[in-house]
Structure 1
């Protein structure tokens, strides 16, 4: 998972602890607090004096001038001259503990220009006269409140807090790569890049995606322009007629809620929990979508050549971390959105508000029984085999066997539960006593998940909620929303044309050679590991030898919509009708998979996507054509630059085969222990060190890195760079600067504060800045290339550096 007005000085650079603290009594004396004098001196030494009038005030007008520490007389004099520090009557009070509000005023007056990186906030304990100064700092990402509407104006500033804010100030102006490599090499981009409309986050990946989108848009528009010329059933006809229903807002507005009204009414008619399940199954069989809960086949972790059935239970509309945060703003926003959706579906305002509160409470209960994001990031927590009879015991008030049979899974006797506690709670909640809230929950899910396919009013409600939730100052245009939907639904068709027109065989061959070289290097590195025994090394190398490589696009193009008819409005179709035709056909196809072997030639991403992945069940790495272009890969770039870009990404994906999740799978893609006990214990200690290295780092106010949540990606980042640096050693007169700077540029990224907070809670990747700065600090080549010394902020003591692979 956000539009800035000024230069993007500090958004990525607020690397300090959030300003949460216990209230402090007004006159408490402690070495932990900061005096007014210390605060001013620290500010001036950090901000600098260049923009200040350096005429010194002799301070003689203050009765307590003698209490100013002699060595700070000049600094305090300059602060008084420039209006940064003022006394109270005839006294300056230099040795009194400074409050948070006083400090904010000092700082705001010391910095003439600050970027607007986020929205202002209203603090009930900040007087109107100081609100402007406080909010300058808030908007620049330098300060935040307690999250409860309070700034803590009268609380004393601690030394830790002073240090945190000064780090943030330094990061606003810092361009020294020895102190912040990422910010230094991306300075121009970070300071000049504004978030495109509708984007809560934007970086190199999004930048290339926009470029790809422009190319695909041109293809799609050409097809659409000739929409009346295509033979029925051709790829072009399906693209054109589907796109026409997306763009035809006039007919979408005319229909409004009507396309789903019959379904809403039918759900509303049910009287019991069993009737609700009966119709949920019927609805899924008609449309391919289930707003209650369902089951789905996927590869079996223990035998990746076959499919098995998975189930999770009732899910929440918001990530559980938000529902459990206790944030009143989240509650107000989400309840308001639910009420808006319910009113759009025909519920009166008073009832909608009351029902929204009930749904929020219901989803909060689900959240309390849902795996945390951290626990869900561990693959072993998601594989819990049960028999159908065992599962049915949790569903004492409804007939689960009938429900599974109605869904087409009557013959299934064994399945996997991905969230045991949530599924048990689901069984408990599916009872007649809860029928009213269950019906409202389903109604909310159905209208919310189809709103963007209906009228502009409903589409705007979705984009409006997302804008507020993610801190956007502007939303995406209707044209871009329409194209994104087309590119998502018709990605396979459009990807074919994209590859034919824009992806060269030479690029594919070059990257394939690079992959082969990196795998061979990885094998050599494993062979030299001093912490792993020979048997485990042999198994790891065997896994690498078994790894499948997919570059650019599939060898065989599938036609996922071969038997699906796309209709324009003039031919009696509709946007949601076309979507349901697709999802219904896909659902029916998916239900046949339990009787078939897994097709390991299938791709999980379309070729135009700017991304890459490792699939543990296939033991494969996949690099779509979309990512094989600058700044990641350039046929004209130096070898060092490409190694720092796509080379590091290739090695990153390979390392996923050996992160804390991938390490549990063998070369055939099965969850199977190939480790000796001693080696695996050592491996766990090493990955624990990686988690500890990242744990607690602040990426923005109130956005703190979870080292365990991001562990798999951090292991892959560090392991990937380690591998390609090995190749760098073999290049005569290798240009390490080109390597490191290429690597740093692929991670450039900016986002709204709310997006950073969302990513910190949910994303298994570390913040992009850390994917550059924290990774390279572990390698001596970086220190040697840039002469990094212990006094430099980029310096990480050798004993803290980590290495797994």
Structure 2
């Protein structure tokens, strides 16, 4: 959907903490971004997703499975996943590995030692692809949010909006009566198109909803060169398989996704009166179109590289851009979408735009139509009747390795969170006063910035010039806790008397028009464009700010009765992690004003890159399971922030009397406890910038002398890493 493509663009400017490593979901059938969020502390996410981030109201604690990994870890086609063979530690996010290995000592595998009892006493609840501290907080927030949605005493325009979507979702009688009728109108209109001239008229129809798929996406976002101004960004439409790499060599999860999306499309299309053969042929044509484009699209792994900016920062004036698409009426398309006054266009992938134009011929018209129809059906399925919704959930669950489903109210809440993120946050805060928490966390943020200044001053490898600018950037960091300074104006959005499908379309169109109205304008940095209910925190490089969402301030991350050790190990490391993103391999390329601008000396750049490469090499040497290695290049930014965040808290701890370092490290490991499906684990390993959770424990703690002293770790122990081999960048 369009929202996903906007996130791809914004990802370049913001490093999210969602779920500390998972990717942010695009649909309500995906896992919530709470487990995706880790700085997103996903993918993006995701991670805290993922990371962003399916939550039953009651905690699910089930009996430990007696089956071995060989008996339980099976693919849908009957083959066994290889989940063992990790080095230097087992992948303890996969429960069967822990069952088969047994409890280990703190000296050999810290994550397993601290979290063993929790891991073996919990199973992944129905409707989830993972279960962790993040999802537990998500359960708490979700239960309270649903209570707010059910509370008729809450008043105001935002309450009316969220209830319209929430109740519309739950109105199965109306949805079942409509059945597939809204989709049938869309499909028949596309089917009636004949050649590219008709397709152009369809795509350039000013009355066509942006809810519907397109071969191009266009949106205003902060210009990375001058982040005070909006720039109009042009990109390609979505890919069915999400990652262009899947069209060259399908992964295990890619194969499953291809199978499940084909089945989902076929089921809905056959229900509209077509044959299964017609459905398969249409799906094949859509995949053929995307395959022809794949070579011109960067892979998800390539998009995660810190040096990506030099590749994707391509600016054109409108006339120059139009020359890239001689076969497509780009000028008209941009105008009818509401961006006609733009003077500058950011084209991330010029070769891709050229390729789309090259393929835009009458000979390829049927494949283009197939692309529009297949994407339309897959997207719309969850907004239609119960049968279509269940089919959509089933497909996503199989792709993520999820068993079971959630309650309808949980899905309804997720729909609201996805479509009206700020409005649901506003009524939540209306019901549950957060003033004291906001003040407390704001003070912790300020205290952490102060300790980070001391940390920077102690970095001997930095020149005085770069150090001073780093401190200036630190001093300029904005601190946003729980809510933005200003909200989007939704006063003209009217959802009265609309069906669920119509309301969903109206919301997306409204937000799109708000975005289009920013063409050529100044960026309003008081806006957040996020939901405070996500279990997440994030650093935004384009305005140099840390943003701590309400959805992460509970459970294992923040409670009023926490000891200093617990507080520093949880929300303290989260906040420090986000600050560290200002100085990680990506964030360090932006100046204190949020602009992509080199402020490093050549010698300091070389020293920084040498340190980062040492970290990359270390992660590259880790085997998660089977032959699957960690990609150090992808995770370097999050890994740098993880280690620097813990270092900042240890510096703060050094100022405390009788600080209990054992409790501190145990609390840190407890925060990252997780079990997940193979599919979710594999996706995070191969595509997400957040390291697997067990590595966010073991690799991070083994960098610090305090850990070795607290647990008497010696050479020869599994957690030992010689001081000269340690990989802290800061």
Same fold by TM (over 0.5)? yes
Mapping 1:336-351, distance limit 5 Å: 336-351=263-278
Whether the 8 Å CA contact 1:271–1:435 is kept in 2: the answer is: yes
> Match of 1:186, SS?
helix
User: Which structure 2 segments of 5+ residues have no match?
Assistant: 1-21, 23-64
CA distance in 2, matches of 1:119, 1:388: 53
Q: Compared with structure 1, are the counterparts of its residues 329 and 497 closer, same or farther at alpha carbon in structure 2 (3 Å cutoff)?
A: closer
Q: Deviations over 1:677-708 (max 9, x none)?
A: 11111111111111111125333456532111
The normalised TM-score by structure 1 is: 0.77
Mapping 1:400-419, distance limit 5 Å: 400-419=330-349
Paired position in structure 2 for 1:587: 512
Q: Does 1:564 align with 2:493?
A: yes
Mapping 1:536-551, distance limit 5 Å: 536-551=466-481
2:216 to 293, 296, 313: 293
CA distance in 2, matches of 1:564, 1:701: 52
Paired position in structure 1 for 2:42: none
CA distance in 2, matches of 1:290, 1:491: 22
CA distance in 1, matches of 2:103, 2:269: 49
Whether the 8 Å CA contact 2:98–2:120 is kept in 1: the answer is: no
Q: Compared with structure 1, are the counterparts of its residues 495 and 121 closer, same or farther at alpha carbon in structure 2 (3 Å cutoff)?
A: closer
Mapping 1:384-399, distance limit 5 Å: 384-399=314-329
Paired position in structure 1 for 2:56: none
1:272 to 170, 181, 195: 195
Whether the 8 Å CA contact 2:703–2:721 is kept in 1: the answer is: yes
Q: Compared with structure 1, are the counterparts of its residues 711 and 346 closer, same or farther at alpha carbon in structure 2 (3 Å cutoff)?
A: farther
CA distance in 1, matches of 2:211, 2:98: 52
> Match of 2:128, SS?
coil
Report the CA distance between 1:501 and its aligned residue.
Answer: 4.0
Q: Deviations over 1:347-398 (max 9, x none)?
A: 3221111221222232233333221222211341332212333333332322
User: Which structure 1 segments of 5+ residues have no match?
Assistant: 2-110, 125-134, 145-158
Q: Does 1:636 align with 2:561?
A: yes
1:120 to 36, 53, 74: 74
1:456 to 386, 395, 398: 386
Q: Compared with structure 1, are the counterparts of its residues 599 and 413 closer, same or farther at alpha carbon in structure 2 (3 Å cutoff)?
A: closer
Whether the 8 Å CA contact 1:341–1:444 is kept in 2: the answer is: no
Paired position in structure 2 for 1:429: 359
CA distance in 2, matches of 1:143, 1:779: 26
Paired position in structure 2 for 1:687: 612
Q: Compared with structure 1, are the counterparts of its residues 371 and 121 closer, same or farther at alpha carbon in structure 2 (3 Å cutoff)?
A: closer
> Match of 1:593, SS?
coil
CA distance in 1, matches of 2:97, 2:297: 35
Whether the 8 Å CA contact 1:273–1:430 is kept in 2: the answer is: yes
Q: Compared with structure 1, are the counterparts of its residues 578 and 424 closer, same or farther at alpha carbon in structure 2 (3 Å cutoff)?
A: same
Paired position in structure 2 for 1:213: 142
Whether the 8 Å CA contact 1:281–1:403 is kept in 2: the answer is: yes
> Match of 2:290, SS?
helix
Paired position in structure 1 for 2:7: none
Q: Deviations over 1:144-196 (max 9, x none)?
A: 9xxxxxxxxxxxxxx9999999x958972133111111111111211112212
Paired position in structure 2 for 1:186: 115
Mapping 1:100-115, distance limit 5 Å: 114=68
Q: Does 1:778 align with 2:703?
A: yes
CA distance in 2, matches of 1:309, 1:113: 54
Paired position in structure 2 for 1:790: 715
CA distance in 2, matches of 1:775, 1:547: 25
Q: Compared with structure 1, are the counterparts of its residues 489 and 286 closer, same or farther at alpha carbon in structure 2 (3 Å cutoff)?
A: closer
CA distance in 1, matches of 2:269, 2:161: 33
Whether the 8 Å CA contact 2:422–2:529 is kept in 1: the answer is: no
Paired position in structure 2 for 1:172: 101
Q: Compared with structure 1, are the counterparts of its residues 657 and 264 closer, same or farther at alpha carbon in structure 2 (3 Å cutoff)?
A: same
> Match of 2:548, SS?
strand
Whether the 8 Å CA contact 2:98–2:112 is kept in 1: the answer is: no
Q: Deviations over 1:187-229 (max 9, x none)?
A: 1211112212211112111110111101111121223xx89xx
Mapping 1:717-756, distance limit 5 Å: 717-756=642-681
CA distance in 1, matches of 2:274, 2:443: 61
Paired position in structure 1 for 2:375: 445
> Match of 1:238, SS?
helix
Report the CA distance between 1:245 and its aligned residue.
Answer: 1.3
CA distance in 2, matches of 1:712, 1:322: 24
Q: Compared with structure 1, are the counterparts of its residues 405 and 486 closer, same or farther at alpha carbon in structure 2 (3 Å cutoff)?
A: closer
Paired position in structure 2 for 1:322: 246
Q: CA RMSD in A?
A: 2.9
Q: Does 1:511 align with 2:441?
A: yes
CA distance in 2, matches of 1:160, 1:718: 19
Whether the 8 Å CA contact 1:182–1:772 is kept in 2: the answer is: yes
Q: Compared with structure 1, are the counterparts of its residues 118 and 466 closer, same or farther at alpha carbon in structure 2 (3 Å cutoff)?
A: farther
Q: Deviations over 1:63-96 (max 9, x none)?
A: xxxxxxxxxxxxxxxxxxxxxxxxxxxxxxxxxx
Q: Deviations over 1:434-453 (max 9, x none)?
A: 10010010011112111111
Paired position in structure 2 for 1:352: 279
CA distance in 2, matches of 1:279, 1:300: 30
Paired position in structure 2 for 1:9: none
Whether the 8 Å CA contact 1:312–1:418 is kept in 2: the answer is: yes
Report the CA distance between 1:717 and its aligned residue.
Answer: 0.5
Whether the 8 Å CA contact 2:128–2:403 is kept in 1: the answer is: no
> Match of 2:669, SS?
helix
Mapping 1:211-250, distance limit 5 Å: 211-223=140-152, 234-250=157-173
2:522 to 591, 594, 597: 597
CA distance in 2, matches of 1:477, 1:770: 33
CA distance in 2, matches of 1:171, 1:798: 32
CA distance in 2, matches of 1:540, 1:559: 32
The answer to which of 473-482 and 196-205 deviates more is 473-482
CA distance in 1, matches of 2:478, 2:291: 42
Whether the 8 Å CA contact 2:196–2:365 is kept in 1: the answer is: yes
Whether the 8 Å CA contact 1:345–1:447 is kept in 2: the answer is: no
> Match of 2:519, SS?
helix
CA distance in 2, matches of 1:306, 1:123: 51
Mapping 1:461-480, distance limit 5 Å: 461-480=391-410
> Match of 2:663, SS?
helix
Paired position in structure 1 for 2:34: none
CA distance in 2, matches of 1:471, 1:122: 9
> Match of 1:427, SS?
helix
Whether the 8 Å CA contact 1:336–1:356 is kept in 2: the answer is: no
2:450 to 500, 520, 525: 520
Paired position in structure 1 for 2:536: 611
CA distance in 1, matches of 2:586, 2:269: 41
Q: Deviations over 1:305-357 (max 9, x none)?
A: 11001111233121223333335555444433333343345432211112212
Report the CA distance between 1:544 and its aligned residue.
Answer: 0.6
Point out the structure with max Rg over C-alpha. Answer: 1
Paired position in structure 1 for 2:47: none
Q: Deviations over 1:215-263 (max 9, x none)?
A: 111121223xx89xx7xx7333333333221111121111122123323
Q: Does 1:653 align with 2:583?
A: no
> Match of 1:654, SS?
helix
Paired position in structure 1 for 2:412: 482
CA distance in 1, matches of 2:654, 2:180: 63
CA distance in 1, matches of 2:373, 2:224: 34
Paired position in structure 2 for 1:34: none
Report the CA distance between 1:430 and its aligned residue.
Answer: 1.7
Q: Compared with structure 1, are the counterparts of its residues 506 and 398 closer, same or farther at alpha carbon in structure 2 (3 Å cutoff)?
A: closer
Paired position in structure 2 for 1:575: 500
Q: Deviations over 1:267-300 (max 9, x none)?
A: 2222222431331232675455443322111000
Whether the 8 Å CA contact 1:644–1:743 is kept in 2: the answer is: yes
Q: Deviations over 1:701-727 (max 9, x none)?
A: 565321111111111101111111111
CA distance in 2, matches of 1:781, 1:787: 10
CA distance in 1, matches of 2:198, 2:662: 66
Count of matched residue pairs: 658
CA distance in 2, matches of 1:510, 1:800: 38
CA distance in 2, matches of 1:421, 1:740: 48
